[in-house]
Amino acid sequence: MSDIIDFMERMGGDAQLSQASADELAEVLSASDLAPEMQSVVMEGNAAKLETLLGTKPMCMLVAPPGPPGTESTPVRPAVPPPPPDDAEEEQEIKDLAEHASASEREIRRA
């Protein structure tokens, strides 16, 4: 397995090898220590078959920071509803509305 990994690293790091024609690639592969089935997979460019031969599968992992660079993460706090109105406050509000209504009625009667 390490032979194919080494070859793929070499191929990825060498611009001429990665852009080689089929004949040039076949020549390089025949000079390598790769098993014949690995050589044919490379020649075919069959990634799925290579994964099967190696017993691997593609993986992807993404680690995203919690916020923009330079900011510290702060714990999220649940929203706290406002406290219920005090009974005395509510009574005063009702009295104010009643007085306002009485004043409005008096003005209407005068008119």
> What are 19-61's pLDDT values in tens digits?
889 999 999 998 988 889 999 999 998 888 988 888 888 888 8
Give the chain's domain count. 1
In a domain, 32, yes or no: yes
* In-domain check, residue 49: yes
Tokens 């330079």, located at residue: 70
66 domain residue, yes or no: no
Cβ contacts of 87 within 8 Å, gap of 6 or more: none
Q: What's the CA gap between 19 and 36, in Å, rounded?
A: 21
pLDDT in tens, 59-93: 888 887 777 766 666 666 777 877 776 677 777 88
Q: Which H/E stretch holds residue 24?
A: helix 22-30
- What is the domain range of residue 14? 2-54
Quick check: is 8 in a domain? yes
Distance between CA atoms of residues 61 and 77, nearest Å? 29
Q: What is the pTM of this model?
A: 0.47
Q: By C-alpha distance, which of 11, 5, 6, 4 is closest to 37?
A: 4
Inside any domain, residue 60: no
